[in-house]
């Protein structure tokens, strides 16, 4: 039996990838759209977490609370509807049947919507670097720069 030998190209390891860029205009539109949806649906304690340099799964994460399971479901539906109407595609969603914790994955933006006690239990803000400069607690009317 003949042994396999790998072929190494001269250019291997020389080609460098361009540096990862920051948010695109499309990401900015998506962030504004999601944030407006959360505010319109009366989501509470909205927190944005900048994920640049922490992970490649998304550029920004929002964590928000609803007062009850029904409110959590309504907030998630508002975010989904808003993204579809804006032509931003159909985000993937998890947890909508139970409405304790709903995850909306819109690509560059991830949204976690919790009932308050479930949010306190999982404490995603702390896990993703709570109280770091990339985390911003958004109050009514406050905007993030994208």
**Tokens 């250019």 identify what position?**
11
Confidence class of residue 125 from pLDDT cuts 50, 70 and 90? Answer: confident
Mean pLDDT score, 61-82: 94
Residue 106 lies in a domain: yes
If one compares 121 and 20, the residue with the highest pLDDT of the two is 121
Give the CA distances from residue 81 to residues 24, 37, 38, 39, 122, in Å, rounded to whole numbers and listed in that order. Answer: 22, 9, 12, 14, 26
Which class for 107: exposed (0-12), middle (13-18), buried (19 or more C-beta within 10 A)?
A: middle
**pLDDT (tens digit per residue) in 3-60:** 555 544 455 444 444 444 555 667 788 889 899 999 999 999 999 888 877 778 888 8
Written as six digits, the tokens of 91 are: 């985000």
Residue 92 lies in a domain: yes
Residue 44 lies in a domain: yes
If one compares 131 and 95, the residue with the highest pLDDT of the two is 95
Confidence class of residue 2 from pLDDT cuts 50, 70 and 90? Answer: low
Give the max Cα distance, the chain: 71
If one compares 91 and 12, the residue with the highest pLDDT of the two is 91
Residue 146 lies in a domain: no
Residue 56 lies in a domain: yes
Under 8 Å CB-to-CB from 118, ≥6 apart: which residues? 100, 101
Residue 70 lies in a domain: yes
Written as six digits, the tokens of 27 are: 């990401």
Under 8 Å CB-to-CB from 123, ≥6 apart: which residues? 130
Q: How far apart are CA 49 and CA 121, in angstroms?
A: 18
Domain that holds residue 106: 25-128
Question: pLDDT at position 17, please?
Answer: 43
Question: pLDDT at position 18, please?
Answer: 45
Residue 3 lies in a domain: no
Q: What is the pTM of this model?
A: 0.71
Name the domain count of the chain. 1
The answer to whether 76 and 113 are in contact (CB under 8 A) is yes
**Tokens 């909306």 identify what position?**
104
Q: How far apart are CA 117 and CA 68, in angstroms?
A: 10
CATH number for the domain that contains residue 69: 3.30.460.10
Written as six digits, the tokens of 110 are: 């991830």
Residue 138 lies in a domain: no
If one compares 137 and 54, the residue with the highest pLDDT of the two is 54
């Amino acid at each position: 039996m003949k042994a396999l030998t790998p072929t190494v190209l001269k250019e291997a390891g020389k080609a460098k990838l361009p540096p990862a860029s920051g948010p695109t205009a499309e990401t900015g539109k998506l962030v504004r759209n999601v944030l407006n949806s959360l505010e319109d649906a009366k989501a509470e304690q909205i927190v944005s977490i900048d994920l640049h340099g922490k992970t490649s799964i998304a550029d920004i994460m929002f964590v928000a609370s609803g007062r009850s399971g029904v409110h959590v479901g309504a907030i998630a539906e508002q975010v989904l509807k808003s993204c579809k109407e804006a032509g931003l595609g159909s985000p993937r969603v998890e947890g909508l049947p139970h409405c304790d914790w709903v995850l909306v994955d819109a690509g560059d933006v991830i949204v976690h919507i919790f009932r308050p006690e479930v949010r306190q239990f999982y404490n995603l803000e702390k896990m993703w670097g709570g109280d770091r400069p990339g985390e911003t607690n958004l109050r009514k009317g406050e905007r993030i720069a994208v």
